[in-house]
Chain A
């Protein structure tokens, strides 16, 4: 047998005192597919994260090809040929596929270190070719199906040629059958090429099919490693839970009661489910079985009023259920236990009491005031009924185990005495004991007359609890069964998605959490990716601004012919646009990274005062410039560092900065104006060069450089990546701290430069120099198409935006609108730009 390529020995790891791994060990051989199975919380993810450099273990040894290694970050692991492909491939949806593939591993660079895009695309195509995949690597990653994204990630992981170990974390969770088959083909191909593949999955039949050896984890231990041939689903389950598990089959309530929930011809607005009809009777448990992405949760959420129904209707006890909001649904007698406990269920740092009482809190109140005694009483009875194990009802729910948390959320809903209760994966990620108790509670509720709709992907659970089972696949109900008579096989096969399904908008919608387009795929591995429209958007934006500018110019020429269309007026507009345009380039960089700096106006004033004072004191212009830029850079870096240290949004830090830097300015100048600057200094910005005002030339040069930085440098692309998705950026080892310092620092340099140009051009500094500059710069940025949420920005757009703002100001002056209204217009421009941006993006996402 060959020596292992990756060995993890006795790995210990704990989070805040709770052990996640206890002496866990894993040996991966080259050219094998190694299964890693275990219940949720058994420690699989932690082990992967340690092996791929995201976490540092508390103890234990990691060896790659026999050599002990210590990983500091994911890129360290990548250098050793160890990569991971996650279930929800967290890509930068705004960047191209090629860039996603190569950002962490090195974009192809040409002369002067600038990114060579054609070369990068060729390299990405070559990597995809290694897998025999054809990918349009120029396309935006956001529009891809999950399967295609995963292939892109695998191609990126192995395409460099140095891949030794590849972790696949729940790769098939959101794939159709054909897509899974295609994936298996690729996995086998890689195995034959000598790569060690660690295959993590809950789908034990798949694990048995594809893996050569299997390691089972339980409670942070690696329990056993055996050849797949020696394992069966039963033996794996037994090893995972520590004992043979028998689900108790309780007495069935029967289907004799009145119909409580009736759904007729319901279709979801996003196409996630279509023409669904079902009935649940009093005292009945209707199991709704299907795979992830079948549209079950979407159906439940639409009934619960979280999403609108596109067609169809529902009734509860004969009364129409027209839930426009969850509150109306609850009032109608419906309750919904959501599937994702951490995101949709619990309020983690709030006490158990708050979590338990939230759904009945208004009922427990009088004149709006919560009656504390009754709240505690109710909470106590929920704790008792659900057998929640806790020390006190004031304990933060986040400190309870997953099973106990789930019981509290269950109790929250059963306390509303619902007529109809929808349970969405009620036992996912809970321990065996809690699972049995939740099953008991479900039966008790049904026995008391509640109609229960049980959504579950756990077939034994569905079989054990349901009176009837409906299967759902690709958004449609595909059959209704009697669990006793029809048996597991019939139910399981009815739930399997059909690859030929003509209308599976479902898959793409349900699984591409971040996808921009819901039109979906035809379900096959080669299926149609959705076209990326994003690439064209920025260019259209810039054309739109130009059109607006031209229109405004035409109107102004018509209104004020003798004043607007003059050379002097044009020069004025350009000069007034120039300073905000330069500051805007820094603002764009910061906003692209997901930040904002509203102290730039004050910093500009401070830098102006320092530079002007130095100039009057006889310092050469170059020194003044250096002083101002250094000071600006320091202020920016200080803002960034403070925001990072305090972990508060930079807008709050820089809000404080507005008064701090302005205060320093006034202290520095003693409140007096600075005037009569030396001629040499004034000549930095005053006057013309080749018949064009100098400042205009500066602006053009700076915009061009900023454009290059954003589109052609590694730093710029990293900034965009960070602003696009902070989690994904962390996974590829980008340092948020360094990039944040970088963008704020660069912005500070530009502010310092602008300060010198401003004082040189206008020849004086007042206490209010620079005031309002931050708003003009931000307006220029967002008008120019920079996404205020980060991840997208355009230097050229910023220049046009600054010009537009200056033109609007100029128009106001010419039309004799008093300058006191200016702030209103700049605020209005920002609001309009951001609002229309948000609406357009939402429209794009809904399409």
Chain B
């Protein structure tokens, strides 16, 4: 049992996470501070939500490069509805969700109906949705959101007991993120939806012959991803208190990196939600530690890219020797 556990991807990732944490705690001054660490997790929330969505997309053997652009667009739609159209905050948030759903459905329609490869479709819409966000907002930031809304990103539920003299707050968005991951886990690993998602990625033809409604599932998948991007836009906007068209640039790469690090097979067929969450934590902690150590943000971006590519190479080399 223990041997099987040790051979599992998730166990290895957990060990890496603990080791990384220990090294950073010893080497980097100011890193090991519960308050700072927990506050920091607010910035994981948007990439974390995109990564959860991306896990499903990659499990089908697809990819969605447009997620960060959709997020930016949804934030702008929400901000403009509120500022220019004078909509109440809940209605504006609803508009953001609707925009996300529409954007995702557009991706899904072209991918599942016209059967253009997702790579190409979402490469085009990555530019298209970003352009829409830039054009609509004329690249100006939109702020002035009500405190109740900002609470979603900046609020805390309670103090975390046992965290010393400066007790840490439990961030609202972290709780939401974990709840979404719990749902995603159940959906991926305990429901027929997740099973079918993986089977489509393993062998799409066989999935059709096994009476899985591949087209409908794919359409629903990309549409849901859009919806989740809209939801991520709410939290992201609340955390930063502004909606900006150029926000979350490169976040699709972060999301893909979390998924690949987490052990989901890049060509589809096998996915791990827990792995993606661990990937998110590893990347987040690495980033935080390096920032605390004074590494420039440019170099950290370089590092994220290298982590992605290196893990992909390791996966490929290890994967070939394993049974699968």
Which residues of A are at the interface with B, using a C-beta cutoff of 8 A?
306, 325-327, 329-330, 336, 338, 343-350, 354, 358-359, 361-362, 365, 368-370, 396, 399, 412, 596, 598, 642, 645-649, 651-653, 655-660, 662-664, 666-667, 772, 775, 778, 788-789, 818, 820-828, 830-831, 834-835, 838-839, 842
Question: In B200-215, which residues have CB < 8 Å from any A CB?
Answer: 202-203, 205-213
Per-residue A-contact encoding for B183-221, CB less than 8 Å = 1, 0 else: 000110011110110110011011111111100000000
Q: CB-CB < 8 A to A822: which residues of B?
A: 131
- What's the nearest-Cβ distance from chain A to residue B188, in Å? 12
| A368 x B192 contact (CB < 8 A) | yes
Write out the residue numbers on chain B whose beta carbons fall within 8 Å of the beta carbon of A649: 63, 119, 266
In the complex the two chains form, is B205's CB within 8 Å of A648's CB?
no
Q: Can you list the 3 inter-chain pairs with the closest CB atoms, starting with the nearest?
A: A824-B131, A827-B128, A823-B131
What's the least CB distance linking B107 to chain A, in Å?
10
Q: Which of B226-234, B286-294, B304-312 contacts A (4 or more CB under 8 A)?
A: B304-312
Evaluate contact between A345 and B209: CB separation under 8 angstroms.
yes
B236 within 8 A of A: no
B22 contacts which chain A residues (CB < 8 A)? none
Residue among A330, A359, A368, A652 facing the most chain B CB atoms (10 A cut-off): A652
The answer to whether the Cβ of B121 comes within 8 Å of any Cβ in the partner chain is yes
Contact of B323 among A396, A820, A842 (CB under 8 A): A396
Interchain CB contact (< 8 A) of B123 among A349, A368, A830:
A830
Chain A residues near B126: list those with CB within 8 A.
827
Contacts of B269 in A (CB 8 A): 347, 349-350
Give the number of residue pairs across the A-B interface with Cβ within 8 Å: 207
**How many Å lie between the Cα of A839 and that of B115 in the bound state?**
9
Partner of A359, one of B124, B135, B210, B305: B210
Q: A667 to B305, Cβ gap below 8 A? A: no
Residue on B nearest A347 in the bound complex, by CB:
B202
Q: Is the CB of B119 within 8 A of A659?
A: no
CA distance A288 to B2 in the complex (A): 53
A354→B199 contact, CB < 8 A: yes
Q: Give which listed residue, B192, B206, B209, contacts A361 with CB less than 8 A.
A: B192
Q: A345-B206, A823-B131 are in contact. Are A350 and B299 (CB under 8 A)?
A: no
Please give the distance in Å from B224's CB to the nearest CB on chain A.
14
Q: Mark B121-137, 1 if CB is under 8 A from A, else 0.
A: 10111111111101101
Indicate if B166 sits at the interface (CB-CB under 8 A): no
CB distance from A789 to the nearest CB of B (A): 7
- Which of A346, A659, A778 is packed against the most chain B CB atoms within 10 Å? A659
Min distance, Cβ A662 to any Cβ of chain B, angstroms: 8
Which residue of A has the minimal Cβ distance to B253? Answer: A655
* Given A658-B253, A822-B131, A825-B131, CB of A839 within 8 Å of CB of B114: yes
Decide: A824 and B135 in contact? CB cutoff 8 A. Answer: yes
* Chain A residue with the shortest CB-CB distance to B199: A347
**When the two chains form their complex, are residues B208 and A660 in contact, meaning their CB atoms are under 8 A apart?**
no
B6 within 8 A of A: no
Contact A365 B191 (CB under 8 A): yes
> Nearest chain B CB to A290's CB is how many angstroms away?
21
Q: Is B25 an interface residue (CB 8 A)?
A: no
Bound-complex Cα distance A657 to B309 (A): 10
B299 contact set on A, CB distance < 8 A:
663, 667
Of the A-B pairs whose beta carbons lie under 8 Å apart in the complex, a sample of 15, sorted by A's number, is A326-B210, A346-B206, A349-B202, A349-B323, A370-B191, A651-B119, A652-B266, A657-B305, A660-B306, A663-B305, A824-B132, A827-B126, A830-B120, A831-B128, A835-B116
Please report the total number of B residues contacting A with Cβ < 8 Å: 71
Complex contact A775–B256 (CB within 8 A): no
Task: Look across to chain A and name the residue whose beta carbon is closest to the beta carbon of B256.
Answer: A652
Bound form: Cα–Cα A667–B300 in Å: 11
One of B117, B206, B309 near A642 (C-beta < 8 A)? B309
Contacts of A348 in B (CB 8 A): 202-203
Q: Does B12 contact A (CB under 8 A)?
A: no
- Which residue of chain A has the shortest Cβ distance to B252 in the bound complex? A655
Query: Do B127 and A830 have beta carbons less than 8 Å apart?
Result: yes
Q: Contacts A350-B198, A820-B131, A834-B120; is A336 near B209 (CB within 8 Å)?
A: yes
B305:A660 contact, CB within 8 angstroms: yes
Q: Determine if B7 is an interface residue (Cβ-Cβ < 8 Å).
A: no
For A306, the chain B residues whose CB sits under 8 A away are 208-209
B5 within 8 A of A: no
Which A residues lie within 8 Å of B3 (CB)?
none
Q: With A343-B206, A667-B299, A788-B120 as given contacts, are A358 and B212 in contact (CB-CB < 8 Å)?
A: yes
Is A343 a contact of B138 with CB atoms below 8 Å? no
- Report chain B residues within 8 Å CB of A330: 211
Assess whether B209 is in contact with A344, with CB atoms less than 8 Å apart: yes
Chain A residue nearest to B215 (CB atoms) is: A325
Whether B127 contacts A370 by the Cβ 8 Å rule is no
Residues in chain B near residue A354, CB distance under 8 A: 195, 199
Asked if B313 is an interface residue, CB under 8 A from chain A, the answer is yes
Partner of A820, one of B138, B270, B306: B138
Residue of B65, B121, B302, B306 ringed by the most chain A CB atoms within 10 A = B302
C-beta contact mask, B88-132 vs A, less than 8 Å → 1, else 0?
Answer: 000000000000000000000010001111011101111111111
Decide if B301 is an interface residue (CB 8 Å cutoff).
Answer: yes
Q: Are the C-beta atoms of B135 and A652 separated by less than 8 Å? A: no
| A residues in contact with B210, CB < 8 Å | 326, 358-359, 412
Name the B residues within 8 Å of A835 (CB-CB): 110, 114, 116
Give the residue of A327, A664, A778, A831 whose beta carbon is less than 8 angstroms from that of B121. A831
Binary flags per residue of B246-274, CB closer than 8 Å to A gives 1, else 0? 00001011001100000000100110000
